[in-house]
Amino acid sequence: METSDTWIVERTGIHERRIAAPYETAAFMGTKAAAQALEAAGLEPSSIDAVICATTSGQNAFPSTACEIALALGIKAPIAFDVAAACAGFSYAYSLAHNMILCGQAQHVLIVGVDSLSHACANTDRTTIILFGDGAGACVLGASEEPGTLAIKLSSDPSRGDLLKLPFPKRGQDLAPGETNDGAYLYMKGNDVFKHAVTILASLVKDTLQEAGMSEDELDFLVPHQANLRIITATARKLKLDMSQVIVTLDKQGNTSAASVPLALDEGIRQGRIQRGHNLLLESFGGGFVWGGALVRY
Ligand code: ACO
C-alpha cells in the first residue's frame, strides 16, 4: 500500500511489530504471559482465586479466554471471566481485581491483557494496518497490609464510539440479503482519536495523582498505553517527567491494545528500571471511548 517507513516512524514512533501466527490465539499468548507472571510472583496455580482477562481478541464468546487460560495452567480458581474495554482493558481489569481483593473475595488475582488486533485490520487500510501488534502481558495482584494501589480512575464517553470501532462479523440470519462482512474490520478516525486521547489522558493523569494526594515529583515512572509516541510524550510533558521515566515499548511492539500496559510494566521491571517501592502511574485509553489510570506503589 502507499506508505513508507519514514511516515510510520515519524507519525507513530513504531519501528517494529510482532504478528501472531494463526495458532497463537489470545488464549495461547495469554497462557504464556500468565505462566511467566506466576513464576515472577513465585506462586503456584493453586494460589490464584480469580483470573481476569482483558481482551477483545478471544476466539469464543464462551468459554472465555480467562477460562481457557485457567484450564491450560491448571488454575482451579472459583472466578474466571473476560473484560472487553479495548485498549483500556487492562485498567478496567486492574480495578476489578483491586476491588475483589479489598472486599475479601480474592487473595490473589491473575490479570492478563492480550490482543491480536493486527488480525482485525483490513490489509488495504493504511490508516490502521501499520499500527497494531499482537501480544500478551500479565501480572498477579495480591492482598497486602501495605497499600500498593494508591488510586484508580476509570471513565468512558460512549458518544465518541463511532470514532474507533471494531464490529463483529455477522453470520446466518444477522446478514441481510446481499450483505457481506467486508466492513467488519477495525475503523479509526485517527486524527480525531489522537486529539481526544491527548486531552483525556492529560486530565486522567492529573486526576489520578490528585485522588492519591500525590504530586508529580513523587512519581518514579509513567507506564502508558502504547498507541503513539506523540501521545506518550505529551502525557509525560504534562507530568513534567523526563522521558527516561517513561516506559516505551511501542517502538518494538506497536499498539498491542489490552496487552500494552502489562507488557510495558513487565519490560520496565525485567530491565531493572522499575524497583520495589517505586510509584508508577499506569494509564490507558481506547475505543468506546474508555480510559483508566492506576497509581501503584510497586
Ligand atoms: N502512510 C502514509 N500516509 C498515511 C498513512 C500511512 N500509513 N495513514 C494515513 N496517511 C495520510 C492520511 O491519508 C492523511 O493524508 P491527507 O492529508 O492527504 O488527507 C495524512 O496521512 C495525515 O493523516 P492523519 O490521520 O491526520 O495523521 P496523524 O498525524 O493523525 O497520524 C495516527 C495518524 C498515527 C493514526 C494518529 O492519528 C494516532 O495515533 N491516533 C490515535 C491512536 C489511538 O490512540 N488509538 C486509541 C487506542 S486504539 C484502540 O482502542 C483499539
pLDDT of residue 173: 87
pTM over 0.85: yes
The mean pLDDT value for 203-213 works out to 97
- Encode pLDDT of 110-146 as tens digits: 999 999 999 999 999 999 999 999 999 999 999 999 9
The mean pLDDT value for 278-297 works out to 98
pLDDT over 90 (residue 77): no
108 is catalytic: no
> Which residues of 143-202 form beta strands (DSSP E)?
149-156, 164-165, 187-188
- 283 with 224: CB under 8 angstroms? yes
The mean pLDDT value for 65-76 works out to 98
Q: What is the mean pLDDT of the chain?
A: 97
Q: Where in the chain is the domain with CATH 3.40.47.10?
A: 5-145, 150-297
DSSP string, 104-133: TS-SEEEEEEEEEGGGGS-TT-TTTTTTB-
Q: 141 pairs with which residues across the strands?
A: 109
Grid cell listed for 4: 513508507
Dist. CA 124–CA 113, nearest whole Å: 27
Q: Which of 87, 98, 108, 121 is catalytic?
A: 87
123 is catalytic: no
- 115 with 108: CB under 8 angstroms? no
Atom of ligand 1 nearest to the CA of 126: 7
Ligand 1 pocket residues where CB is under 6 Å? 3, 7, 11-12, 86-87, 117, 126-127, 130, 164, 190-191, 193-194, 197, 227-228, 231, 255, 257, 285-287
pLDDT over 90 (residue 183): no
- If you measure from the C-alpha of residue 20 to the centroid of ligand 1, how many angstroms do you get, rounded to a whole number? 23
**Where does the pLDDT of residue 294 fall: very low under 50, low under 70, confident under 90, or very high at 90 and above?**
very high
Q: 34 pairs with which residues across the strands?
A: none
150-297 to CATH, choices 3.40.50.300, 3.80.10.10, 3.40.47.10, 1.10.287.70: 3.40.47.10
The mean pLDDT value for 234-255 works out to 97
87 is catalytic: yes
pLDDT over 90 (residue 252): yes
- If you measure from the C-alpha of residue 238 to the centroid of ligand 1, how many angstroms do you get, rounded to a whole number? 23
**Where does the pLDDT of residue 182 fall: very low under 50, low under 70, confident under 90, or very high at 90 and above?**
confident
The mean pLDDT value for 279-297 works out to 98
Q: Which of 53, 121, 196, 255 is catalytic?
A: 255
pLDDT of residue 1: 86
Cα torsion for 60, 63, 65, 71, to the nearest 10°? -140
Nearest CA to ligand 1 atom 44: 227
DSSP for residue 176: P
> Which residues of the chain form beta strands (DSSP E)?
50-54, 79-83, 108-116, 134-142, 149-156, 164-165, 187-188, 221-224, 279-286, 290-297
Question: What top-level class would CATH report for the domain 5-145?
Answer: alpha beta
